[in-house]
Chains A and B, each alone.
Chain A
Amino acid sequence: MTSTERLLDLADALDEAKVPFLVMGGHAVRYYGLERNTADFDFHLSLAAADALPERLARTRLFQSAMLREETTWRGGDFRRFQIGTLPNGREEWMEFWFRNHLLGPFDELAIRQETGWVLRRNVPFLSLPDLMRSKETERNDDWRDVAYLEEVLDQRHLRAVVDAASRVHALQQLRSRRGFETALLQRHLADTAAVDAAVRLAAHPVTLAWLLPYASTQARSTGAARLESEMASALSRVTPASPRHLALVEAARLAYQRAAQAKDREDKARFRAP
């Protein structure tokens, strides 16, 4: 049985146990296009679903006969994990559930934004692409490699969907990857100052602002600059768009964001790990 077929069996069991879920982790990354060899199955559930979860799972057809061994975790009630088997290569197979996570909002909010995709024989609810990216803003460098890839996917999706002024602003206000930036440049979206200005006013991410500021009007630039560190904002207002200096500032903004997020994640983990 492939790991994808196994995922579907677990999805069937969760449905049978009447536990609403969203697939996250390696299988969600695979769904969005990056091949992942993973023996773990990660799901996001609501806090309410934590009640009697092992009992509800044990009553499903799959787990009446299959292994379901819960292991205590250091995250207390926020995270639970169950060993569900051992692969032929000796590696343990784990099903993991997040109920609460400092990187993500509550389940109901995530469920509204979910993406449902057809996988082999059934529909599977996945964490939306932006939420999946957010869930990977951890202390682990491997997760940031996934973020870098997922940013490219998100940009390409948005840029392919540009048909009018509103969709152009929508794509620009979330621009993150260099590949997305190069596409936006080729498709002349960055030459539309009105769209760039609107996107700057809406953009929340410092990397997006760093891509857009050199293309914005003076007025929009000052609005966007207020959301950046002052030295960075001032340098961005002087660089030639798409020059090596502009690219370097974007990457510096990206690295500073990553550093801050990693520190925040370490802090969160330390809170739980402290004796």
Chain B
Amino acid sequence: MRKAGAPGYTVAMSLQVASVIDDPVVELLLTGRADTAEQAERLYLEEHLDEVTRLVNSSLSDEEFRRHPLIAILLGRGSRGWEDSIL
């Protein structure tokens, strides 16, 4: 098992932290701009809504487009499809 201080540990931890910080919702939580994930998602969407059309017009593949945090959160919080509907 890799222990703190062992070679590679710091690098692995840094990569992990960096990937967490890459998540805009986590960043809003860690910087104290939002208290809950729900609030953080809402804030992130409000601040970046204008970027949706730029992403739509970009050369991202459908898969890359869908995986972009802004689009993933927008679609995740949007109107429910058949499978998720509560009707």
Measured CB to CB, the residues of A under 8 A from B are 33-34, 141, 148-149, 151-153, 156, 176-179, 182-183, 231-232, 235, 238-239, 243-245, 247-252, 254-256, 259
Contact = CB atoms under 8 A, between A and B. Distances in A.
Contact of B55 (A34, A149, A248): A248
A151 B80 CA distance: 10
B23 interface: no
A252 B74 CA distance: 7
B62 A248 contact: no
Contacts of A244: 62, 65-66, 71, 75
Contacts of A151: 79
14 contacts: A33-B87, A178-B78, A179-B79, A179-B82, A231-B53, A239-B56, A244-B66, A248-B55, A249-B52, A249-B56, A250-B78, A252-B49, A254-B79, A255-B49
Contact of A178 (B52, B57, B80): B80
Contacts of B80: 148, 152, 177-179
Contacts, number: 78
A239 B71 CA distance: 15
Given A239-B56, A252-B52, A254-B78, A156 B87 contact: yes
A178 B79 contact: yes
Interface residues of B, number: 24
A176 B78 CA distance: 11
B18 interface: no
Contacts of A141: 42
Interface of B: 42, 45-46, 49, 52-53, 55-57, 62, 65-66, 71, 74-75, 77-82, 85-87
B81 A248 contact: no
B75 A247 contact: yes
A141 B38 CA distance: 11
Contacts of A255: 45, 49, 74, 78
A235 B55 CA distance: 10
Contacts of B86: 34, 149, 152
A251 B53 contact: no
A179 B81 contact: yes
Nearest to A149: B86
Contacts of B62: 243-245
Contacts of B81: 178-179, 182
A252 B53 contact: yes
Q: Kindly list the 6 A-B residue pairs having the minimum CB-CB distance in the complex, ordered from nearest.
A: A251-B78, A178-B79, A252-B52, A179-B85, A245-B56, A244-B66
Contacts of B49: 252, 255-256, 259
B82 A248 contact: no
Contacts of A245: 56, 62, 65
A260 to B, nearest CB: 11
Contacts of A254: 78-79
B79 A248 contact: no
